[in-house]
Structure 1
Amino acid sequence: MQKFLLYLFFLFAVSGLAQTKISGIVVDQDGVGVPFANILFKAASEGTITNDDGRFYLESDNTYSAILVSYIGYETKEIALDKRVTYDMEIVLQESAEQLDEVVVYTGKQSKKNNPAIEILKKIWAKKRQNGVYKYKSYQYDKYEKIEFDLNTIDSALIKSKAFKGLEFMFEDLDTSRITGKTYLPMFLNEVFSKVYGNNQIKAEKEDVLGNKSSGFAGNQAITAFIEDLYSDYDIYNNYLKFYDKSFTSPLSKTGVDTYNYVLADSSYIDNKWCYNIIYYPRRKNELTFKGDFWVADTSFAVKKINLAVTKSANINWVKDIYIEQDFEVVSDSVFLLKRDYMLTDFAFSKKEESKGVYGKRTTVYDNYSFNLERPVDFYKAKADPYDPRVFERDSLFWKNARLEQLNDDEEGIFKLLDTLKTVPKFKTYYNIASVLGSGYIEIDKWNVDIGDLYSTFGINDAEGIRVRGGARTYFGQNDPWRLEAYTAYGFDDKKFKYGISGKVLLDRKNRIILSGGNRRDIEQLGLSLTSTTDVLGRSIASSSLVSVGNNDRLTNINLSVLNLEAEPVKNLRFRVGASFRTLSSALPNSFSLDYLDDSSHTGISSEIKQFDINTTLIYTPGRRVIGYGVERYDVDDDISTLVLNYTKGAKGFLESDFDYERLQFSYTQPWQLGGFGRLLSTVELGKTFGEVPLGLLSVVPGNQTIFSLYNTFPNLDFYEFVTDTYATLHLEHNFNGRLFSRVPWLRDLNLREIVGIRAAWGSISEENVRLSSPTNIPLLAPENKPYYEYSFGVGNIFKILRIDFNFRGNYLDAPNARPFGVTGTFGFNF
C-alpha cells in the first residue's frame, strides 16, 4: 500500500522535434465518432488508429504532405497537409457505395466463421515458436532499456500555480508526446544496458547487466522498486500479457477469437515483405483488452509490427491510457527479430481527456544478434552480479557506446535538471514527502538517520489502552552494508514503556551472508501466525489496531532475543540458522492465562515460559526480483511463489529453558494468473510438534478479531479458539477482476471486482499437551473430527480504494460465542 501512496503523490504533484504533427476527430455523416479508423501518412507505414470516441493524434520525425483515412465500410479519404502542424481536424467519412473485390468487408461484431483474418491468426499460432530466436540452437543480443517518468498535460495554469512557484525554470524546455499530443516535463530517467544469452536446447537464458544509470529518485529504494515493479517483460505471442498485476488478453492469443473482433483490412509490401494488415477491437466492454492493428508476413506468419492500446472501458484503476508499439526487423530474408519495444502509460486520477497525470514510458531496443555460438552449459548457470558497484559507475564514454537509441535533448537535460532541482528547497520538500509516503520514514540527512516507521505510530488494545510508538534507523544510503534500528512504545493504561532494537551486517555480498540480532520487550498478540515470531521489530496489527471485534484481551508479554545467520548461495534460495530466547507471560492474567503444570514450582503451576530455541529455515522464492545490493533489499514484484521449510529445536535447561521439543513446518504460497478469469492466491501450510509443550508454544489456528481482511487468517475465529500440535491449513482467494460484474449492465460502469475465498483448517492436540496446560482458563480445542472451514464473498474496487468481505463460518457453529457471520474490509490503491 505504501507504494501506491507514493504513486498517488506523483499524480497529485502534477513544441517538439517532430516534423509532422496532426490531431483531430474522425466522424461519420451523422457526426458520430468513428472508433478504430486507420490514419496513415501517405506512402508510409507510419500511422495510428482512432480511439473509442474517434479522436487521434499522430506525429513523425519525417515530413509528409498528406494522410489517408480509412475504415471498413467507408470510402478512403486523402487529406492534404498544408503545414507541418495541423491540430483539431474534423474528418468526415462517407459510407462506401461498393466493396473492393480483393477485400471482404466486415462491420460491427465479426463472425468467427469464414473470416480470413482468423484464418491468418491460426497460422500465427502454429508458427509462433518457430520465429525469432526460437529458430536457432543458441542466441545472444544487446539490450538497452530506458524508463522515463514525465509530468504531463502542462498548461499555463499549472506553471503559474502556487505548487510550482519558484520552480518555473523547470518548464523552459517542454516536449509533446507523439502518442497523445500532450505537453510533458521529464522528471525521472533510468537506463540499463545488458547482454542476453540463451540456449533453446536446454531452455536456458541469462541476462548480464553491464550498466545502470538513474536520475531523479535514484537514491530511494522504495521509489526505485515501485518504478521497477510497474514494468515487466512480456511476449506478444503469449495468450495473456501481464501489466500492473492484471492479465490482458493478447490479440494474438488462442482465446482472442472469443475476446476480439478481427478484420483483414489491407495488404502491402513492408521491407520487401508482403504483409497483411489486421485490425482488432474488443467484443465486449469492461474487460482487460486492447484495440489496434498488426502487420503479419504472408509466408512465415511472423508479426512485422503491432500496436496495442488499452480500451478506456478496461477495468483498471489510475491508468488513463496504455499504448504499446513493437517493431521487428527481417534477418536472412525469413527471420523476424524484435528490434524496438515502446510502452507508454498515462497515469491519472481520472480517465477524462483533460485530467493531469504522469507518463511512464519504457523503450527497449535490441541489436547485435548472434546465433549458434557454442558455449558450455555452465556458462548459462554463471550469473553476473547486477549489483556490482561498477555497474552503477559507468562513465560517459560507456553510455555513448551502449545506447542503442540516443537520448533526445529533453532526456539529456533530465540529468542537469535534477541536479539543479536538488538544490531548490521547495523541490526538496516535495521529494521528502514522496519519500515518506513510499518508505514510511522521515530522512534526517545530516545525521544519516531515518525517523519512523510512521505507519506504526498509533494503536489501541485492552492491555495498554492507547498506544504510541516511535522509532529510528541508520541510513547512509540504499546499499548500506549494515543497519541499526530501534523503537520505543508507551501504553497510557499500563503506563509502561516497551522497546525493540535490531542490528544487521552484510558479511559477504556475493553469497548474501548476513548476521543479525536484537531484543524486544513488548506486548504481542500471539496466535496470528502458526509460526512463532522471531521478529524483534514486529508490529502486530491485532495488538496495535484501532478497532477490534469482541474482547481483545488474550495478549502476551514477550521478551525476545534472537541471533541469526542467513546466506543466499543460490539466487532466491535462502538458508537461515539462528537461536532465540523468549520469556512469555500473560499481559492480562485476570482474563487470559498461560499457566501450565510445573513440578519444579512450589505451587505445581507456572505462569511464565522461558524457552531457548534453535531454528533452521529454508526459503525458496523462484522468480523473485530485488533492488539493491546492501544488507537490506526491496522486492520489486511480490507476485511470486514462496516455499518455506522450518525446523525448530527447543533445548531444555540451557539458559533455564523449560521445554524439550521439535517442530517441523512447511508452507507453500502460490499466486496463479488465470488470464481472463483473474488471479487466484493459494497457501498450504503443514506442521507437527514433537514433545510436550504448553499453550504458549503450541500452534494456534490464526483467528482474526480485527475489522481488517487479513490473508492467512480466519476472520470468524477468535484468538486461541483452536489450538493444535499437528495441523494442516488451506487458504484460497480468487479475484475475478470484474469479469462477472462486467456482464451485468447496471453494474458494468462501476468497475467493481468480485472476490471469493475459502479457508480450511484441520488439527489435533495430544492428551499430554492438553493436560500440561490444564491450569489455563483457555479451553484447548482442535478441529480434529472434521476440518473447520469458512467461505467469503467480497466486493472490491469500491470507489477504487475499498474492499468489503462478507465472511461465513461453515461449521462448529455450536461453539461458545461462535461468530457465524462477519464483515471485514481493507483499503488499498490497486490497479
Structure 2
Amino acid sequence: MFTVLLLSVLVAKAQKTIVGTVIDEITGEPVVMANVFFDDGVISQTDFEGKFTKEYQRSKLHVACVGYNAKTISIKHLKDTIEVTLLPLENTGGKAIVKGKKQKYDRKNNPAVELMKKVIANKKQTDLHSHDYFSYEKYTKMVFAFNEVTEQSFESGIMKPFSFMKDGLEVCNATGKLTLPISIDETSSTQVWRKKTNTEKTIITGQRTKGLKDILKSTGEMFNVILKDCFTDVDIYEDEIRLLQYPFLSPISSKNAIGFYRYFLGDTINIGTDRCVDVTFTPNNSQDFGFSGHLYVVVSDSSYRVKHLKMGIPYRSDVNFVKDMQIIQTYAQLPTGEHVIEQDEMIIQMELTNFLHKFQVTRDNYYSHFDFGVIPDRTFKFDGDTRTEANALMRDEQFWDDRRANNLNNDEEAVNRVVTSVKKAKGYKVIMPIIQAVMENFIETGSEKTPSKIDIGPVVSSISSNKVEGLRLRASAQTTANLNPHLFFKGYMAYGVKDHRWKGALETIYSFNKKAYRPHEFPRHNLTFAFKDDVISPSDQFLGPDKDNVFKALKWTTIDHMYYVRSFDINYVKEWGNGLQIWGGLYHERMEPTLEMFFQPTNLIGPSQNPADHIKYIHKSEAEIGIQYQPGVTWINTKQNRYESNYDAPILRFKHRFGFKNVLSSEHASNLTEASIYKRFWVGSWGKIDLLLRGDIQWNKVPYPYLILPSADLSYFMEDGTFSLVDNMEFLSDRALSFFGSWDMNGKILNRIPLIRKLKWRELFGCNVLWGHLTSKNDPFVNPDDPDLFFFPGRFNENGEFRYLSRSINSSKPYVEVYAGVHNVFKFFRIEYFRRLTYLSNPDTHRWGIRFKFEFSF
C-alpha cells in the first residue's frame, strides 16, 4: 500500500499539472477561448467554463484574450488550482494601466448609470400592449443533453456501461463540444392579446417530444415539463424575470435595478444600421440571484432601446446545479416602428454532483409574423391561458420545416439513435422499471407494446409502523387511463402484525374530462365514491394523502390516542383554468377508539377505566361544500400526485361542513366553518416571505371529537402549514385562529460570512401562532353533568389516576413556536430548529425539536 502511495506522489510530482480558471474581473463570467502559455509560447485555450490545464514550467504564465488586458503572473509555488482575472479593455479606454487599490463603485455622476436611467424610462415605448390587439408566431426548441462527452468517456468510469450510446454524439454549435442529446422538445404556438379585456392567450399549434419520454415514459414527460417551467422565457422589459422558479431582477427593472446592479460603459459599435453602446452589468454581490453580462443600447436615436443582449448568472452565483448560463437575445424594429424580440437563445450547463457527467440544456425561441390587426372574439373563448389544438401532436415534417428558423443540427436524429440504442441494451427491461419505481413511487405492470393499465404503489407506503399495529404491511394499486380514460379505481389492503387486523380502502373515480394517465391531472372534474376501513390518529387529517409512508412513521412523540375508522364518502370536484375550484360531498364515518382513547360522557363521575362506561362507537353523517380561488397557479402532473410549480399565486379558501343528527345513526349535529388565505411576497435579493392565516369555528355544542384540533405534525419530517411542537390533541377549541409565517432569506446572511459561504446554505426564520377559545357550552369542566359532552382525552397511570392530555387554550395567551434553519444542505435537505415559547408548565412538554425535509430547489 505504501509503495502504491509513493508511486502516486512521484507521478504527480513528475506531471506538475496546473489547473486554472480565467474570469472577467467585472462580471465574474468565465472568459472563453483565452490564450494561456508560458515563455515557450505553446498555447492552450480556455474552455466554455473558462478552465485550462497546463504542465508547470519554471517561467511566467501569460494569459491573453481579445477584448481584455493581457496579464502575466508568477507562480512561485506549484498549486493545484489557480484563478486569473482579466480586466476588459473597454473599462480602461484601451490603455495599459497599473492597477493599485480597487476603486470604489460610485453611482453618483456615473455616465453608465445615467444611460441606464434613460433606458428604463423609455421602456414603455417598446411595450406592444399599447396596441388594441397583437399576435405573433413563436417556435421553441429545447434540447437536453449530456455535455463534454467524448468517445473516450465511454471507455471507463460511470459512462462505460453506456458505450452503446456513442452513435448519438453530436457537436454543439454554441460550444463546439461533443454532446449526447437525449431529449428534444419542439413547440409551435400563436400568441394573441386584446386590450379591452387585458387578455393574453397561447394557442399551441404543434408539439412533439422525443427521447426521455420514449425511454422513461411519464417520468420523461414530467422531466420535460419541469425543464420548461425552470427555463422559462426571459423578457428583460419586465421588472422581474421568473427563471429557475425564482424571480430575478431585470437589469432594466423599474423597481431597483440601479441599486442592485453595477453598470460600466464600454465601446460604441455599429450593429446593423444602429449605433450602440456596450453596457456591462453585474450584481453588487455576485452570490445574489441576479444577472451579469452586456446590454447593447441604441444611441443613434432617442429610443434608448436594447438592440442586443448577452447575459448569464455570475460565475460565483449560489444558484444550484447551474454551472453556467448564457442568454443571448436579438431585437428588431418592425416596419411599423415597434421594437420586438426576434430571437432568444439560452444555453445552460448543469452539474448535479461532481461524480456525474455534466448536462446541457439549450432552449431557442424564434418570433415572427407580428400583426396588430383585429382578432376575432372567438379566438379568446377558451378556459385558462393555453389551448392545444386537436391535431397539435400529429403534425407532419413539412409543418415543422416551415416553422423552424434553422435545422435541428441533427439533434433529432441523434436522439432517435440514443433511444434505439437504449431500448436494445441488455438489462433495459429490468433496470428501467426500477428507475421508474424510485422516481415515481409506482411500479408499472405493462410493457412498451401494452401500456400499463394498473400501477402498483405507492412504494414508500408498503411498510411502516404505529403503536396500534406494530409493523404495518400494505399493498396498493391503481388503474390508469390505459384501462379507461374516464373511470379509475384505487385501493389498498393493509395488515397490522400487532393487532392482527386487516384494513383497506377502495376509491372509484369518474372523470368527466378525458385523462392522459390519472384522474388528479389538472383540471379535475371528478365524481368519487370511496370506502375506508383503517386505523388513524386525529392529527393524520393534516397530513398529505400518504399518511402511513415510511418517513411519516418516524414520530417525535408517543401517539397512543388513535381510533379505527370505517367511512363511506361521495364527493364532487371541479376546477377551471383561472384557478377557481369548487367541491362538495356527503360523508359518513364510524369511529372506534383504541389504546388510550375513549369516549365517555361527563354525566358519569370522573373518567373511568371500565369499558362498560365507555361509548364503543361514534357515528358522523356530514355534508361539505367548499370553494378555493388561486389565480395564476400552474401545475406539474406526476403519476402519484401533482405539484404546484408557481407558489406566487395567492390562495383563498372557504369550506363548511354540516353534521346531521339521527341520520345513519349519527348522534350529534354540528357546523364547522374554515377559511384561510395564503400569500407569498418576494423581497428582492432578501428572499421571500410566506404567510398563511386560517380561522375555524365550530358553531354547535358537541363532544371533543367534533372540536377544532390544531394542525399538528407529529413526524420528524415537516409538513407545511402545521405546528411542529404541538402534541397529539394537546389543544381543543371551538374558535381557532392559526398563523404561519416564514422568511427564506435565500442566503443573504450566510453568503457574506467567510468559509460558511462556501457551503451555499440558505437561512430561514419563522413563527407559528395559535390563538383559540373554548366557549362554555363545549367545556366539560364547566358542564360536568352534560351527557352530550365527553371527558377530554388523557391517560391513566399505574395507580389508576387520570391525567388529561388535552386542554382548552387560553384566549388571552396564544401558543407560539419560533424556528430558525438552513436549507440547501447538500442541495437537497432542509433542517430547522424549533423552540416553543408558551405553555411550558407541563413536564411532558417538548420545548424544542429538530425537524427535517427533503427539498429540491435551484
Q: Where on the TM-score scale, by shorter chain, does this alignment land: which range?
A: 0.7 to 0.9
- Does residue 785 (structure 1) correspond to residue 797 (structure 2)? The answer is no
Find the aligned partners of 2:560 and 2:683 in 1 and give their Cα distance. 41
Aligned residue in 2 for 1:513: 525
- Does residue 742 (structure 1) correspond to residue 751 (structure 2)? The answer is yes
Query: 5+ residue gaps in structure 1?
Result: 1-23, 42-48, 58-66, 77-89
Aligned residue in 1 for 2:632: 623
Give how far 1:319 is off. 2.1
Aligned residue in 2 for 1:81: none
Q: Is the 8 A contact 2:495 2:503 kept in 1?
A: yes
Find the aligned partners of 2:855 and 2:172 in 1 and give their Cα distance. 31
Code of the aligned partner of 2:829: L
Aligned residue in 2 for 1:240: 240
Q: Is the 8 A contact 1:756 1:793 kept in 2?
A: yes
Code of the aligned partner of 2:621: F
Q: Is the 8 A contact 1:491 1:497 kept in 2?
A: yes
SS of aligned partner of 2:369: strand
The 1:550–1:132 alpha-carbon spacing in structure 2 relative to 1, beyond 3 Å, is closer
The CA deviation string for residues 502-527 of structure 1, in whole angstroms up to 9 with x for no partner, is: 12121245985311121111121223
Q: Is the 8 A contact 1:321 1:347 kept in 2?
A: yes
The 1:490–1:37 alpha-carbon spacing in structure 2 relative to 1, beyond 3 Å, is closer
Give how far 1:198 is off. 1.3
SS of aligned partner of 1:656: coil
The 1:50–1:306 alpha-carbon spacing in structure 2 relative to 1, beyond 3 Å, is farther
Aligned residue in 2 for 1:326: 329
Code of the aligned partner of 1:307: K
Find the aligned partners of 2:85 and 2:234 in 1 and give their Cα distance. 36
The CA deviation string for residues 340-399 of structure 1, in whole angstroms up to 9 with x for no partner, is: 22222222134x7x9622222222211110114255598366668735653323333333
Give how far 1:470 is off. 2.4
Alignment of 1:203-242 (within 5 A): 203-218=198-213, 219-220=217-218, 222-242=222-242
The CA deviation string for residues 636-691 of structure 1, in whole angstroms up to 9 with x for no partner, is: 54554322211211122222122212222112222223221112222111121221
SS of aligned partner of 1:606: coil
The 1:811–1:541 alpha-carbon spacing in structure 2 relative to 1, beyond 3 Å, is farther
Give how far 1:610 is off. 0.8
Find the aligned partners of 1:704 and 1:633 in 2 and give their Cα distance. 22
Q: Is the 8 A contact 2:30 2:48 kept in 1?
A: no
Give how far 1:332 is off. 2.8
Query: 5+ residue gaps in structure 2?
Result: 1-19, 35-44, 54-63, 72-83, 516-522, 605-610, 781-787, 795-805
The CA deviation string for residues 140-194 of structure 1, in whole angstroms up to 9 with x for no partner, is: 1011122221122213443234866675443224223344443211111111111
Q: 2:680 aligns with which of 671, 680, 683?
A: 671
Q: Is the 8 A contact 1:616 1:648 kept in 2?
A: yes
Q: 1:196 aligns with which of 178, 191, 200?
A: 191
Aligned residue in 1 for 2:503: 498
Aligned residue in 1 for 2:67: 70
Code of the aligned partner of 1:593: F
Q: Is the 8 A contact 2:28 2:316 kept in 1?
A: no
Q: Is the 8 A contact 2:29 2:315 kept in 1?
A: no
Q: 1:796 aligns with which of 823, 827, 852?
A: 823
Q: More deviation in 766-775 or 140-149?
A: 766-775
Alignment of 1:304-315 (within 5 A): 304-315=307-318
Give how far 1:95 is off. 8.5
Code of the aligned partner of 2:562: L
SS of aligned partner of 1:803: strand
Aligned residue in 2 for 1:649: 658
Give how far 1:461 is off. 1.7
Find the aligned partners of 2:149 and 2:48 in 1 and give their Cα distance. 24
Code of the aligned partner of 2:585: G
Q: 2:584 aligns with which of 577, 582, 585?
A: 577
SS of aligned partner of 1:301: coil
Q: Is the 8 A contact 1:458 1:468 kept in 2?
A: yes
Give how far 1:475 is off. 2.6
Find the aligned partners of 2:645 and 2:584 in 1 and give their Cα distance. 26
- Does residue 526 (structure 1) correspond to residue 538 (structure 2)? The answer is yes
The 1:296–1:427 alpha-carbon spacing in structure 2 relative to 1, beyond 3 Å, is farther
The CA deviation string for residues 388-444 of structure 1, in whole angstroms up to 9 with x for no partner, is: 653323333333334344322123442464356445454455543442233211111
The CA deviation string for residues 569-595 of structure 1, in whole angstroms up to 9 with x for no partner, is: 55421221211111112231xx22344
Aligned residue in 2 for 1:346: 349
Find the aligned partners of 1:133 and 1:682 in 2 and give their Cα distance. 35
The CA deviation string for residues 728-751 of structure 1, in whole angstroms up to 9 with x for no partner, is: 111011111101111222322121
Code of the aligned partner of 1:500: A
Give how far 1:230 is off. 2.4
Q: More deviation in 119-128 or 427-436?
A: 427-436
SS of aligned partner of 1:745: coil
Find the aligned partners of 1:785 and 1:97 in 2 and give their Cα distance. 64
Structural RMSD (CA):
3.9
Aligned residue in 1 for 2:266: 265
- Does residue 117 (structure 1) correspond to residue 112 (structure 2)? The answer is yes
- Percent identity, aligned pairs only, is 23
Q: More deviation in 204-213 or 239-248?
A: 239-248
Code of the aligned partner of 1:527: S
Q: More deviation in 260-269 or 546-555?
A: 546-555
Which one has more relative contact order, counting CA pairs under 8 Å at least 6 apart? 1
- Does residue 252 (structure 1) correspond to residue 252 (structure 2)? The answer is yes
The 1:68–1:703 alpha-carbon spacing in structure 2 relative to 1, beyond 3 Å, is closer
Aligned residue in 2 for 1:828: 855
The 1:123–1:144 alpha-carbon spacing in structure 2 relative to 1, beyond 3 Å, is same
Q: 2:123 aligns with which of 116, 125, 128?
A: 128
Find the aligned partners of 1:656 and 1:292 in 2 and give their Cα distance. 71
Q: Is the 8 A contact 1:208 1:383 kept in 2?
A: no
Aligned residue in 1 for 2:282: 281
Find the aligned partners of 2:416 and 2:49 in 1 and give their Cα distance. 38
Give how far 1:451 is off. 1.3
Aligned residue in 2 for 1:560: 567
Code of the aligned partner of 1:455: V
Give how far 1:139 is off. 0.8
Code of the aligned partner of 2:335: S
Q: Is the 8 A contact 2:463 2:474 kept in 1?
A: yes
Q: Is the 8 A contact 2:280 2:294 kept in 1?
A: yes
Find the aligned partners of 1:669 and 1:572 in 2 and give their Cα distance. 14
TM-score, length of structure 2 as denominator length: 0.80
Alignment of 1:365-380 (within 5 A): 365-373=366-374, 375-376=376-377, 379=380
Find the aligned partners of 2:129 and 2:289 in 1 and give their Cα distance. 29
SS of aligned partner of 1:300: coil
Aligned residue in 1 for 2:361: 360
Find the aligned partners of 1:680 and 1:252 in 2 and give their Cα distance. 24
Q: Is the 8 A contact 1:593 1:776 kept in 2?
A: no
Q: Is the 8 A contact 2:461 2:549 kept in 1?
A: no
SS of aligned partner of 2:793: coil
SS of aligned partner of 1:654: coil
Give how far 1:452 is off. 1.0
Find the aligned partners of 1:824 and 1:399 in 2 and give their Cα distance. 51
Find the aligned partners of 1:824 and 1:97 in 2 and give their Cα distance. 50
The CA deviation string for residues 242-269 of structure 1, in whole angstroms up to 9 with x for no partner, is: 3223333332234333333311111122
Aligned residue in 2 for 1:587: 594
Q: Is the 8 A contact 1:703 1:721 kept in 2?
A: no
Q: Is the 8 A contact 2:766 2:820 kept in 1?
A: yes
Code of the aligned partner of 1:160: E
Give how far 1:231 is off. 2.9
TM-score, length of structure 1 as denominator length: 0.83
Find the aligned partners of 2:661 and 2:404 in 1 and give their Cα distance. 63
- Does residue 300 (structure 1) correspond to residue 316 (structure 2)? The answer is no
The CA deviation string for residues 75-123 of structure 1, in whole angstroms up to 9 with x for no partner, is: 89xxxxxxxxxxxxx999999998469x9x9976532122211111101
Find the aligned partners of 2:26 and 2:121 in 1 and give their Cα distance. 37
Q: Is the 8 A contact 1:543 1:555 kept in 2?
A: no
Q: Is the 8 A contact 2:21 2:30 kept in 1?
A: no
The CA deviation string for residues 772-816 of structure 1, in whole angstroms up to 9 with x for no partner, is: 443343434124222222111112222323322111112222245
